[in-house]
Structure 1
Amino acid sequence: MFKKISLLLCLAFLTSTIKAQVVPVNPDLLKKQWTAWWITCPDVAQRDYGVYHFRKDFNLTTPPKKFIIHVSADNRYRLFVNGKDICNGPARGDLYNWYFESIDIAPYLKAGANVIAAQVWNMGTLAPVAQISNQTAFVLQGDTEAEAFVNTNSTWKVMQNKAYKPCSIDNGERLKTYMVIGPGDDVNANFYPWNWEKLNYKTTNWKKPQQIANPVTAGYGTDNLWTLVPRNIPLITEKLQRMGKIARFTGIKTINNFLSGSTSLTIPANSKVSILVDQSFNTVAYPELVVSSGKGSSIKVTYAEALFKDGVKGNRNEIAGKEIIGNFDIFNPDGAEKRLFRPLWLRTYRFIQLDIVTKEKPLVINDFYGMQTGYPFKPVASFASNDYSLQDIWKVGWRTAELCAGETYYDCPYYEQLQYEGDTRIQALISLYVTGDDRLMRKSLLDFYHSRVPEGLTQGRYPSNRLQVIPPFSLYWVSMVHDYWLYRNDEEFLKQFLLPMEEVLKWYENNLDHQKQMLGPMKWWNFTDWNTAFDFGVPDGANDGNSSIITLQYAYTLQQA
């Protein structure tokens, strides 16, 4: 049967560059020391696990028309203005390229009392492999003298949130795979400082923060702990995403559709209840669970892409006789009304299981939903075919691409959330063709450029707090630069890569077997692909000489360079 296929691309997007930030940065801040301070919580181990709250209360006689601030933290932060969640960050980078976000918060300010507050966390040695860190810290800098009175310094206040402790720290062992996304959150609501980010909260027992150092940007300073650079991608978005359906439940006689948000579910006292939710598709989101009463109860929230039977996934639509195994969070309610649990970092799931144990008081689930999150791609290309199966493949393919794009491209959003050249080259081309948005592509080119080791090779994945060198992936990076050159007239951006590309190719030239006109023995992990023929993904001849596959890839890359 003849199949008609059409693919429409907006070519204008393939030849123009999109600006990274809509909020400008005062040029003076990019060439001199900031007047704000990096601040931290005193009397805590600065490189250990911890969750902290910072806030600055102030008054305004009139609401400003513009009020630009620049914000960053280590490991991460979530910023609130007068109780409203404004943004989170910083975009992942490294200590030489530590990103800061620029936000105009004027729309959220008012005449009279105001508060800027930030939740900051450091996962310590449990942090995701994609998270590079120095120590716990937070900084906020006003763009000009008009905003300088909110600069972080000793006039702010800080407290450690002792409601948090890490859980789900054995993911790799339980799932029998490489899983490095960081721990889950075990939160005891009895110790949580509820409403800490809102006006009129009493900070009587909060501490004066410790001032660490004045921030500097790239090219300046000495003895730098972090070298700041402006964020070069848009802010990550969030939107309400209702859960799918209740797939099964045990421990309770009947169950209503509390997932709709229009009704609540009461879990009786002294019960042990399990509820499996099927989103019906994989998603990346911040799950939000709202509960009331239930003092002394516990709720374990487990996330999975698929269910398992005897350690095997199989058909994801089949759940009979299968169990959930995955990363998890734990929330322990304090008995108050409409307490919100939300993990610090995003979660990936198709299935979520709530395992609930109540004590003397019943627990009310008021609502359960997700805040879907990811890079804000906007498709401008379209695909059409009279073969409807191809239409479905297009939709699934693009949804997969969206799931694998956040502050970096992800190899996978569930297990690793790491950016590898071998995946990223394909992902960058897909997002460029479908959306015309090159900002995440540009950031990935820079990320790998920043990852280079003394031999001239890029690291195999980056950002990463563990060293991994995959020489064939350095060739992919050279190909990525070539891809960008094909679609963008941007010589000023590209010229910084010329010498690094030459160093990559020189490494291969130095490893040539001139007698056989092929590559000789090579060091590091010469991964090509996972299959049954290659030992740990490495083709014959890569380590001991004369690999045809990698030699051909080298020749292909030379043609592009």
Structure 2
Amino acid sequence: MAGLAQEELNYPVVRYGPETFTASWVSHPDIAGGEDRAVMFRNTFIVKDSTQDLIINISADNHYFLYVNGRFITHGPQLSDIQHYKYETLNLKDFIRNGSNVLALKVVNFGKRRFLGMQSIFTSVMVNGVTENAKSLNTTGAGDSWRCLLDNSYTANEVVWRGTGEKAIVGGFYANNPTDIVDFNAYPTGWEMPGYDDAEWQRTEFFENASSMGGSIAYLLEPRNLPLLSWDTEAMGSIVRSTEIGTTNFPVSGTLTIEPHSTSTLLIDQKYVTNGFPELVFSKGRRASIRINYAENLFGPNQEKGDRNDIEGKTLLGYYDLITSNGKEQQKFIPNWMRTYRFIELEITTKEEALTLNSFINHRSRTTLPSYAQFISDNELYNEIFEICKRTVDICTQDYFLSDAYYETMQYVGDTKIHALIWEAMSGNADHTRNAIRQFHHSRDADGNILGAYPLRSTFIYPTYSLVWISMIADHYKTTGDKNFIHTYKDGIVHTLAGFERNMNPKHLVKKTPYRYFIDWYTGPNNGSGTATNNDGENSAVVSLHYVHALQLAAQLFSKIGDTQTATTYTQRATTIKKAVYDLCYDTERKLFAERPDKTVYDQHTNIMAILTDAIAPDKQQALLVRILNDKDLLQATYYYRFYLFKAIEKINAPELFHLAQRPWEQMVYDHMTTTLERFESAEKPTRSEVHPWSASPAYFYFNYLAGIKSVKNNFEEVRIAPVFGILNTIDGLLPTPKGAIAFSLSKKDSQLTAQITLPKNITGNLIWQGTVIDLKHGAHTYTLKPKNQ
């Protein structure tokens, strides 16, 4: 199956809202509730004129796969919550023919261990015909033309990560979906194809009405607001280790036959981390079992990782699908949810009949918004860091922002703030950012807390992440200048800050809360699982300064919309807290901020935030930054929090420090990683996720700081290009923007800047070099600048 040509008709402008829905939610009559189940639905219908549009709305709980005349179309719905449940709108004209046609759906409920981001009521589906010729496709559960069948071949395979038994993964917390156990002896082969006999299938049963007007007993429906996901064919890597005798090119080309009464293990190395829906086609081999294991990396004897290219003596530990063959030709397995991997291991046990592996490919899943930023410098290390950062955010930008692609796949606020900025640099598109900000706003509780991750079917609250949500709004305004966006969320900002104010004690520092402040993954004896000290964050200077930062940003936003009274209130409160942090936590002998007033713990984080909030005088900030970068006794900012470290370097304009701050990424390159790690390795807390966008921030700063390209008006209507280079001498690249891509080639020699810049016609701006400022011209031009005083 090649990449899909299908498009979401309600993106970017809504054309088919839910007001006119006449369909209902339906299910199989034997579904009991939220059990793990796959249900097949079929509708055979007649088309008289296949040149006419045939438009439907479609949604399902938990997840659906749509086929027309046996051809896969798309899967969904877009992830959201029950009060904003998404539906897709599709034109199926290009997939139908005159005469008899078949619309087929598989709806999967992943059961009690479904993905924590997936809200659910009942296993059900809704198809609504928009055009007149699609009305016969309406699901009603009362005399409609749909038939349904329980797929008894499928069982959800829980990924075990806790308890006393053997674990399926390494590293703890798993919040992704179960994997699949499929027995093809019970699979209704050809169910999605025309000509399949569904006479014995049952009629659908009504569950609830689909109308969202004035509320709903079930789901409040909203149109999808992001593009459909890709379904691009991606070749598998080569077999790098095998128990089979002889040579084979499978899965790159050809087939592979496994003899009867044998056990075989095949390790495939993709050479880079990817994700999607792998498709295995196999024949014969009745009663043979095929276990497909997926992992981002291999592990040594003591669960160490090391060089990812070194497979000697290492094993694959990870989640898996388990398949039983029915002995027929051309059986096809595609998992019911996305898989992430660099390595795949096939464990095959045959019975009385040989098994032939016909083909093995991947259907790569990404947003279909193009990610086409380019960066090349004279330092190969930086180039490689850029590539692994870009691949990470590309993989994790689906129909929402994934925190990681393997273990959790949730949209966390702290992660998303960073991910969103990088993605906008890679694509020039902020639609995912706006979607995330809106979804986080939907998650707030009565006290103003934003849930730490959303959409979510549980309750994670990190009060610091509520503050980060405010900073996301500030980021968006800084780029776009959109005051209406501030107005949309101003009441939410007030609510969130008022809620956080209740966390403050009489010292003007934070007190304990029922929840967990999260700053970073600290290590050491005082580790508080997100805070530097194991005291629930009481009197934490860095948490208090995060509140200051949010107050300062909110003051700037309210000032922009003319609410000077609220802006002044927030500024004054920020000043009071800053003074308290300085008076209680600044160590005049060490010339550092301690993490709390008893001055027993010192970390980089508090000092970084002191710089960003001006809790220390501007003329002392550079010395403080140099001090914390060279003091190895401080608790270190890990990959996530180094975004804020880079921001501090940018704030004081010390590009000579950038390379030092970026050092931890060097080890990723040396270890031949192709995506970015979640956190630093430590004996007490080994890292797990290897596809973590919160660790991809260098790629953002390569454009925003080292190349110095920033929007200064109306979403890149006007730009400023003020390169600083750091240790680099040349920077070439392509930066996508909403107004078109900016191509640039920057080089410095001695004190002179040479810049070749191609500026789209609807962008104006300035080029700045050490005090010299010149206007940029439209089109491709070369500029030579010297410092202002030369």
TM value normalised by structure 1: 0.92
Give matches, 1:219-234, under 5 Å: 220-234=213-227
Matched, 1:167 2:157: yes
Give the match for residue 672 of structure 2. none
Q: CA shift at 1:301, angstroms? A: 0.3
CA contact (8 A) 1:242 1:370 kept: yes
Give the match for residue 282 of structure 1. 273
What secondary structure sits across from 1:395 in the alignment?
A: helix
Q: Percent identity?
A: 32
Q: 1:181-228: CA deviations, max 9, x gaps?
A: 1211111111111111111111011000001122123xx244521110
Give the match for residue 410 of structure 2. 418
Return the letter of the residue paired with 2:465: F
Q: CA shift at 1:254, angstroms? A: 1.4
Q: CA shift at 1:168, angstroms? A: 4.5
Give the match for residue 90 of structure 1. 77
Q: Report the Cα distance in structure 2 between the residues aligned to 1:105 and 1:477, rounded to whole angstroms.
A: 39
CA contact (8 A) 1:23 1:103 kept: no
Matched, 1:116 2:103: yes
Give the match for residue 476 of structure 1. 468
Q: Report the Cα distance in structure 1 between the residues aligned to 2:107 and 2:542, rounded to whole angstroms.
A: 46
Give matches, 1:28-39, under 5 Å: 29-31=17-19, 34-39=21-26
Q: Report the Cα distance in structure 2 between the residues aligned to 1:501 and 1:391, rounded to whole angstroms.
A: 39
What secondary structure sits across from 1:483 in the alignment?
A: helix
Give matches, 1:117-266, under 5 Å: 117-153=104-140, 154-172=144-162, 173-174=167-168, 175-217=170-212, 220-250=213-243, 252-261=244-253, 263-266=254-257
Matched, 1:529 2:517: no
Q: Report the Cα distance in structure 1 between the residues aligned to 2:159 and 2:415, rounded to whole angstroms.
A: 27
Return the letter of the residue paired with 2:152: K
Give the match for residue 450 of structure 1. 442
Give the match for residue 379 of structure 1. 371
Q: 1:109-137: CA deviations, max 9, x gaps?
A: 11100111111010120211111111101
Q: 1:466-492: CA deviations, max 9, x gaps?
A: 111000001111101111112235444
RMSD: 1.9
Q: 1:409-430: CA deviations, max 9, x gaps?
A: 1111011101111110000001
What secondary structure sits across from 2:202 in the alignment?
A: coil
In structure 2, the CA distance between the partners of 1:198 and 1:492, relative to structure 1 (3 Å rule), is farther
Return the letter of the residue paired with 1:513: N
Alignment equivalent of 1:550, drawn from 519, 538, 543: 543
Q: CA shift at 1:30, angstroms? A: 3.2
Q: Report the Cα distance in structure 2 between the residues aligned to 1:30 and 1:507, rounded to whole angstroms.
A: 35
In structure 2, the CA distance between the partners of 1:545 and 1:358, relative to structure 1 (3 Å rule), is closer
Return the letter of the residue paired with 2:284: S
CA contact (8 A) 2:154 2:183 kept: yes
In structure 2, the CA distance between the partners of 1:58 and 1:20, relative to structure 1 (3 Å rule), is closer
Alignment equivalent of 1:346, drawn from 321, 335, 338: 338
Q: CA shift at 1:521, angstroms? A: 3.3
Give the match for residue 326 of structure 2. 334
Q: Report the Cα distance in structure 1 between the residues aligned to 2:22 and 2:228, rounded to whole angstroms.
A: 25
CA contact (8 A) 1:448 1:462 kept: yes
Give the match for residue 560 of structure 1. 553
Alignment equivalent of 1:432, drawn from 408, 411, 424: 424
Q: 1:71-100: CA deviations, max 9, x gaps?
A: 000000011111111111001111001000
Give the match for residue 12 of structure 1. none
What secondary structure sits across from 1:543 in the alignment?
A: coil
In structure 2, the CA distance between the partners of 1:415 and 1:231, relative to structure 1 (3 Å rule), is same
Q: Which runs of 5+ in 2 are unaligned?
A: 1-7, 555-790
Q: Report the Cα distance in structure 2 between the residues aligned to 1:88 and 1:31, rounded to whole angstroms.
A: 23
CA contact (8 A) 1:297 1:332 kept: yes
Q: CA shift at 1:542, angstroms? A: 7.1
Q: CA shift at 1:372, angstroms? A: 1.1
Q: Report the Cα distance in structure 2 between the residues aligned to 1:291 and 1:237, rounded to whole angstroms.
A: 24
Give the match for residue 358 of structure 1. 350
Give the match for residue 303 of structure 1. 294
Alignment equivalent of 1:507, drawn from 499, 502, 508: 499
Give the match for residue 58 of structure 1. 45
Return the letter of the residue paired with 2:151: N
CA contact (8 A) 1:512 1:520 kept: yes
In structure 2, the CA distance between the partners of 1:394 and 1:40, relative to structure 1 (3 Å rule), is same
CA contact (8 A) 1:49 1:125 kept: yes
Give the match for residue 68 of structure 2. 81
Return the letter of the residue paired with 1:407: D
CA contact (8 A) 1:157 1:208 kept: yes
CA contact (8 A) 1:76 1:122 kept: yes
Q: CA shift at 1:439, angstroms? A: 1.4
Return the letter of the residue paired with 1:207: Q
Give the match for residue 269 of structure 1. 260
CA contact (8 A) 2:528 2:536 kept: no
Q: Which has the higher helix share?
A: 2
Q: CA shift at 1:541, angstroms? A: 8.9
Return the letter of the residue paired with 2:181: D
CA contact (8 A) 1:25 1:102 kept: no
Q: Report the Cα distance in structure 1 between the residues aligned to 2:536 and 2:515, rounded to whole angstroms.
A: 8
Give the match for residue 9 of structure 1. none
Q: Report the Cα distance in structure 1 between the residues aligned to 2:534 and 2:405, rounded to whole angstroms.
A: 33
Return the letter of the residue paired with 2:430: D
CA contact (8 A) 1:79 1:117 kept: yes
Give the match for residue 15 of structure 2. 25
CA contact (8 A) 2:14 2:223 kept: no
Give the match for residue 87 of structure 2. 100
In structure 2, the CA distance between the partners of 1:113 and 1:180, relative to structure 1 (3 Å rule), is same
Return the letter of the residue paired with 1:183: P
Q: Report the Cα distance in structure 2 between the residues aligned to 1:512 and 1:493, rounded to whole angstroms.
A: 29
Return the letter of the residue paired with 2:288: S
Return the letter of the residue paired with 2:362: G
Return the letter of the residue paired with 1:160: L
Give the match for residue 44 of structure 1. 31
Q: CA shift at 1:494, angstroms? A: 4.3
Q: Report the Cα distance in structure 2 between the residues aligned to 1:270 and 1:334, rounded to whole angstroms.
A: 16
TM value normalised by structure 2: 0.66
Q: Which runs of 5+ in 1 are unaligned?
A: 1-17
Q: Report the Cα distance in structure 2 between the residues aligned to 1:461 and 1:544, rounded to whole angstroms.
A: 20
Give the match for residue 518 of structure 1. 509
Give the match for residue 369 of structure 1. 361
CA contact (8 A) 1:527 1:539 kept: no
CA contact (8 A) 1:419 1:461 kept: yes
Q: Which protein has greater RCO, CA pairs closer than 8 Å, 6+ apart?
A: 1
